[in-house]
Amino acid sequence: MSAKDNMQKQGRVWLVGAGPGDFGLITVKGLAAIEQAQVLVYDRLINDALLEHAPDDCEKIYVGKQAANHALPQPQINELLYQKASQGRRVVRLKGGDPYVFGRGGEEGLYLVERGIPVEVIPGITSSIAGPAYAGIPVTHRECASSFHVFTGNFKDDERGLDFANLAALEGTLIFLMGFANLNYITQGLLAAGKAADTPAAVISQATTNRQRTAVGTLIDIEEKAAAQHLSSPAITVIGRVVECREGLNFFEPQPGRGVLILRDARQSDIFAQKLRQSGLQPVNCPVIQIVNRTDKQADAYLQRMAQYSWLVFTSPNGVKAFMEAFQAQVGDWRALGHLKFAVIGRATAQVLQNWGFTADYCPERQISDALGQGLAEQLKADDRVLLPRSAIADNRLQDLLSAKCPVDDWKIYDTQIVEDMSAELWECLQNVRYVPFTSASTVDGFVQAAGGAAAAAEVLSAVGCRTVAIGPVTAGRMQQLGIAPDLQAAEHSLDGIVKVILADTGGVEND
């Protein structure tokens, strides 16, 4: 075997910092490493969406710790990395924040290097700096902190703990990771060592994620403030005058009155989030439904019959995506769609269709199912044939309207699955928002199920004082059926319509 073969055979480990939680806070180089990984060994506190960037055949191994229950002890993690790399594989060891900040990355690296495995490090954005930044707190600031110091607040019984006399004498910002359970020990220790009781302090929980929340106080009351807000681990404690900058620099956490809950599938939430941000509103994601494309024999049958259809009718962007993805995978030759006319329910669906290179031939004035059915029926002739790829839970009205004119194949192309048992997450998210828009009847069902039933849903909404918004009459009807009063209804039945009606309600812009 040549030296070159040998090189290619040799595995390698990349110690990669995943950043603090926000997907976008991984480095370009870190993401590229994930995209090339053959084995991905990852911890808790990693944004799950990063894992989806690994190749399909990548072996993903979770080694994180859950409270006191260690999923895999450190020596076994070291050995696992060694074993996988010595089989000649590209191993990415993905760690929260930066791999060398309280991440035991150094230990793993040395263990591998001592055994002849090449190791590379891709630093990450550490939560110790990014967490405070996302809470509006710069770790240094002219005239109030010219240094910052990062400590671990987690000690084993046999460890000495912190040297509070030295800490209290430091002029710079004090930052504690892993210290939430020891917050009392930290604040009391600093006070006893002479640190001023009115020193500003903050605790930032779940920093840079949609669930980020921050308690602000002073050394003397921060523990009480954090408890009052029910903050929990993971959390960062910041002590020093820099905390005072938060008032001006807090850009990320929803301000009262501007937070909007997004309940739809994670795949669909980006565009809505973007529209909200552009209007000065603040999206908070809590997906209660999930769109799953169906791949069954039926699908092949429809796709093979494409020549027989004259119209393709889409009632949602999901329908377009599901159809185009299935077509691309199974047929692949776009000319097979060249003879077809396309009808869509509204502008958002038309836009997604356009993104695939097809212009809608028909779109009703009012973006509702009945308008589509009635308007399109006027154009259909007896020798037309319609394919209607749509949600498995759609009702029959549209099909009935169209099939009065010509044959219609109702292709149940995707399922809308409800994500079960999310009441704790939902409750947390609801506390950060003012508006709860429902973009479809299925988001109403998802919300009710996630909340633990219709009564619980109504109760939680009134407890947090949120305003509900319906995208249109069908969604409003479903809300009423389940005991949720629609406070607002969009005049234009689209995401833009929802943004407009919310802005009008906040007093931002006139509703038109």
Instruction: Provide the binding-site residues for ligand SAH, judged by CB under 6 A.
Output: 20-21, 45, 95-98, 101-103, 126-128, 131, 177-178, 204, 206-209, 233-236
Q: Which CB sits closer to ligand SAH, 235 or 466?
A: 235
Percentage helix, strand, coil for the chain under 3-state DSSP, each rounded to 5 = 40, 20, 40
383 catalytic per annotation: no
Using the minimum distance from each CB to ligand SAH, give the nearer residue, 154 or 293: 154
Q: Which is nearer to ligand SAH, 95 or 264 (CB)?
A: 95
Shortest Å, Cβ 286 to ligand SAH: 17
Question: Alpha-carbon dihedral of residues 201, 206, 208, 212, nearest 10 degrees?
Answer: -70
**How do 408-418 and 235-239 pair as beta strands?**
unpaired
> E strands along 206-281, which residues?
213-218, 235-239, 259-262
CA angle 378, 380, 386 (to 5 degrees): 130
Please identify which of the residues 5, 9, 22, 43 carries the catalytic annotation. Answer: 43
Q: Which residue has the tokens 């009945």?
A: 370
Strand order through the sheet with 311-314: 289-293, 408-418, 386-391, 311-314, 341-344
| Three-state secondary-structure class, residue 93 | strand
**Which of 45/360 has CB closer to ligand SAH?**
45
Alpha-carbon gap, residue 21 to 210, rounded angstroms = 9
Contact 239, 412 (CB under 8 A): no
Gap between the Cα atoms of 333 and 97, Å rounded: 44
Q: How far is the CB of 84 from ligand SAH (least distance, A)?
A: 21
Residue 65 among the catalytic residues: yes
Q: What are phi and psi of 200, to 5 degrees?
A: -65, 145
Cis? peptide before 55, omega within 30° of 0: no
Give the list of residues 6+ apart from residue 147 with CB closer than 8 angstroms, or none. 140, 170, 171, 172, 173
Q: How far is the CB of 102 from ligand SAH (least distance, A)?
A: 4
- To ligand SAH, the closest distance from the beta carbon of 134 in angstroms equals 9
Place of tokens 């941000």: 277
Closest separation in Å from C-beta 305 to ligand SAH: 50
**Active-site residue, from 22, 65, 370, 505:** 65
Nearest to 41 by CA among 84, 70, 8: 84
- Give the shortest CB-126-to-ligand SAH separation in angstroms: 3
Nearer to ligand SAH, 234 or 373 (CB): 234
Which stretches within 203-265 are classed as H helix? 222-228, 246-249
Closer to ligand SAH by Cβ: residue 203 or 380: 203
Q: How far is the CB of 450 from ligand SAH (least distance, A)?
A: 23
Q: Are 70 and 64 in contact (CB under 8 A)?
A: no
Residue number, 100 or 356, with CB nearest to ligand SAH: 100
Residue 313 makes CB contacts below 8 A (sequence gap 6+) with 342, 343, 344, 372, 376, 386, 387, 388, 398, 402
Question: Toward ligand SAH, which CB reaches closer, 178 or 454?
Answer: 178
CB of 99 to ligand SAH, least distance (A): 7
Q: What are φ and ψ of residue 412, in 5° steps?
A: -80, 95
- The closest residue (CB) to ligand SAH is 97
Instruction: Catalogue the active-site residues.
Output: 43, 65
